[in-house]
Structure formats: C-alpha cells, structure tokens
Structure 1
Amino acid sequence: MKSSAEIIQFPIDRQIYFVRETARVLERRHGEAADRFWKLTCRRLYARLQVQGMPATEIEKEIDAFCQAVYLEMQHAAWAAWESQNPKGAA
C-alpha cells in the first residue's frame, strides 16, 4: 500500500526573525546597497522554495507576502522610533 503526504511549509511571512532581520538590514542600507541586498534576499528565498519543490505561482505568493511583512515591520519600527522621540500629552 502506497501512501503519500503533502509537505506544507511554514509561511515565510510568519518567520518573524527573518522578517525583522531583513527589515533591520534594509533600514541601515541605502541606495544601491539596499537594492542589492533586497534582490539577493528575494533570489535566495526563491531558490530555497524552488529546491523544496514549491510551484512558481506559490513561490511568488510567498515572496509577495514576505515583502509585505518586511514593509510592515519597517513601518512599525519607524512609528515606534517617532513615538519614542515625541512626548505624550505635552501641552
């Protein structure tokens, strides 16, 4: 009797450490350096998912979700930094 199983990968956008670390690196780099880092990160992510046997359409969805997660993390960090520098309730 043959049995088969489907492997479901943990979503990339839920890998909090990876998302936060990527966001922190992008916050420190600017211009060409940031572009190179971002492209390299996405290419490596694509290759990793491809090796794991994920179809191209699913890989693109995972990368899109990862991009959104990194962008949101950068927004949260910027907002937190802004809040920490502005007094609350000062008249």
Structure 2
Amino acid sequence: MTLMQFPADRRAAEVRRCAQALRTLHGQEANLFWRSEMVLFSAELSAQGASVEEISHQASLFMNAVQLELQKEYAAAASGS
C-alpha cells in the first residue's frame, strides 16, 4: 500500500472546488467534468505509485467527500445560512 500524504477526502480545497463546479453543471456537462476530474485524479495517484485498489479506494473517499460538501451547501442554502 502506498502512503498518501494527503488522503483524497481531506483535500478540502479540491473537494470544495469540485462541489462548486458540480453545483452549476448539469447532465452531460456534469458527467464530463466528473469523468475528467477522475482521469486526472487517477493519473496523479498512479504517478505516485498507488495501486489500482488504492486509487479506487481514494476515488471513493473523494467522491463521498464531494457529495457531503454538496449536501452541506444545499442544507445551508435551504436554512438561509
């Protein structure tokens, strides 16, 4: 297993950036954005020596973090915060 200096789900700026982009994109645009992000994400981890399994695990953590950020933003908007 490769030791990741910054686990994907803890990259707060990247999580927020993706969530903000996905908030404004819909349908095919959102799909293309996410796919391109995951290609770059996978390439970065692969270049660091991560295994396919670790890349998949980190991608899942990152996706969950982005989803949680989106939910947090929607909840704040709904409550008027």
Q: How many residues align?
A: 80
For normalisation by structure 2, the TM-score amounts to 0.93
CA distance in 2, matches of 1:55, 1:9: 15
**Separation (CA, whole Å) in 1 of partners of 2:52 and 2:71:** 29
Larger radius of gyration: 1
**Given residue 12 of structure 2, which amino acid in structure 1 is its aligned partner?**
I
Q: CA RMSD in A?
A: 1.4
Deviation at 1:10, TM superposition (A): 1.1
Please list, as runs of the form range in 1=range in 2, the aligned pairs for 1:2-13 lying within 5 A after superposition: 7-13=3-9
Give, in whole Å, the separation in 2 of the partners of 1:7 and 1:76: 29
> So what's the TM-score if we normalise by structure 1?
0.83
Distance 1:55 1:78, change over 3 A: same
1:30 aligns with 2:26: yes
Identity %: 35
Higher relative contact order (Cα pairs below 8 Å, separated by 6+ residues):
2
**Structure with the higher fraction of residues in helix conformation:** 2
Matching residue of 1:79: 75
Paired AA for residue 75 in structure 2: W
